[in-house]
Amino acid sequence: MNKSDFPIFTNHPELVYLDNAATSQKPSIVINAIQDFYEKSNSNVHRGIHKLAEESTILYENSRSTIAKFIGAKPEEIIFTSGTTESLNLIADMLGQYFGTSAKTKTILLTELEHHSNILPWQKIADILKWKIDYVNIDNNYSLDIQDLDYRLRTLDVSIISLTNMSNVTGSIVPLEEIGKLVKSKSPETLIVVDGAQYVPHHKIDLSQLPEIDFYAFSGHKMMGPTGIGVLYGKEELLTKLNPTKLGGGMISKVEREHSTYANLPEKFEAGTPNISGAIALASAIDYIINEITEDDINKLYNLTQYSLTTLLSIPELTVLGPQASENRGPVFSFSIKNIHPHDVAQYLDNDNIAIRAGHHCTQLLHREVFNLPATARASLYYYNEKDDIDKLIASIKKLITTFK
Nearest C-alpha neighbor of 329 from the set 167, 206, 180: 167
Number of residues that bind ligand PMP (CB under 6 A): 14
Q: Which one of the spans 61-69, 70-78, 195-203, 317-325 is the region binding ligand PMP (CB under 6 A)?
A: 195-203
Rounded distance between C-alpha atoms, residue 300 and residue 385, angstroms: 9
Q: Which is nearer to ligand PMP, 113 or 283 (CB)?
A: 113
Q: What is the DSSP string of 40-79?
A: II---SSS--SHHHHHHHHHHHHHHHHHHHHTT--GGGEE
Is the CB of residue 108 less than 8 Å from the CB of residue 131? yes
Q: Which is nearer to ligand PMP, 118 or 305 (CB)?
A: 118
Of the candidate residues 41, 107, 168, 385, the single one contacting ligand PMP (CB under 6 A): 168
- For the question of residue 362 being annotated catalytic, the response is yes
Q: Which one of the spans 60-68, 81-89, 150-158, 242-250 is the region binding ligand PMP (CB under 6 A)?
A: 81-89
Please list every residue from 337 through 396 that binds ligand PMP, using CB under 6 A.
Answer: 362
Is residue 24 near ligand PMP by the rule CB under 6 A?
no
Is the CB of residue 98 less than 8 Å from the CB of residue 240? no
Is residue 197 near ligand PMP by the rule CB under 6 A?
yes
How large is the greatest C-alpha to C-alpha distance in the chain, in angstroms? Answer: 73
CA distances from 249 to 30, 112, 246, 386 (A): 28, 39, 10, 47
CA angle at residue 338 from 337 to 341, to 5 degrees? 65
The least distance separating ligand PMP from the CB of residue 87, rounded to whole angstroms, comes to 8
Is residue 164 near ligand PMP by the rule CB under 6 A?
yes
Q: Which is nearer to ligand PMP, 66 or 84 (CB)?
A: 84
Q: Which is nearer to ligand PMP, 362 or 400 (CB)?
A: 362
Is residue 66 near ligand PMP by the rule CB under 6 A?
no
Please list every residue from 221 through 280 that binds ligand PMP, using CB under 6 A.
Answer: none
Strand partners, 19: 380
Rounded distance between C-alpha atoms, residue 190 and residue 158, angstroms: 6
Residues making contact with ligand PMP (CB under 6 A) = 21, 83-85, 115, 117-118, 164, 168, 195, 197-198, 219, 362
So which residues are the catalytic ones?
Answer: 362
